[in-house]
Amino acid sequence: MSEKYRKTVFIIVYSKFENRVFYLVLKRKLHWVGWEFPKGGIEEKENPFQAVNRELKEETGLKPLKIKKFNVHGKYKYPHGIPDRLGIVGQSFSLYAVEAKKQNVKFDEDEHSDYKWVSYFQAMKMLKHSNQKRCLKKVNDWLGKKKTE
């Protein structure tokens, strides 16, 4: 029997403000506690770009200025089962970067307890999962290359 993974979008939200780049991190409280980027499942009859827009609105209230799809994918297993996801052993994800205006965030209080706009180095210190750090580095490297083009 093959293991079933929930298909998700992994969204690194960034904002360019006063010649600096800030990244949005959310403090997770549902299923685990820690800092993360917005993410969520792709619903039936929805393409990944629609999922990015919907999840961004649901989790932050933000509207994307630009969306960039990366050829970065991964998957991870849940450390223990999640009651509302019976039969699902983990999540597979695709990476997207979203530029948004740096402003107050209306986070989903069922899933998150706080948010912060932080630098790349602050975000790297706050994140605990290697997939999160790998994706942040990919987006940060891409943004650095864009400055020199």
For 93-132, b/e burial (b = at least 16 CB within 10 A) is: bbbbbbebebeebebeeebbeebebbebeebeebbeeebb
Cα-based torsion angle of the residue sequence 18, 142, 75, 81 in order, rounded to the nearest 10 degrees: 0
Q: Does domain 4-148 have CATH number 3.90.79.10?
A: yes
103-139 residue pLDDT tens = 889 987 777 789 999 999 999 999 988 889 999 999 9
Q: Which of 23, 127, 122, 136 is nearest to 72 (CA)?
A: 136
Percent of the chain at pLDDT exceeding 70:
84
User: pLDDT band at residue 148, thresholds of 50, 70 and 90?
Assistant: very low
**Contact assessment for residue 125 and residue 59, using Cβ atoms and an 8 Å cutoff:** no
| Mean pLDDT calculated for residue range 27-54 | 86
Q: Which of 92, 102, 117 is nearest to 37 (CA)?
A: 117
Query: How far is Cα 93 from Cα 72, in angstroms, rounded to an integer?
Result: 8
Query: How far is Cα 105 from Cα 26, in angstroms, rounded to an integer?
Result: 10
Query: How far is Cα 129 from Cα 35, in angstroms, rounded to an integer?
Result: 9
pLDDT confidence of residue 75:
78
Residue type, 9: V
* Arithmetic mean of pLDDT over the chain: 86
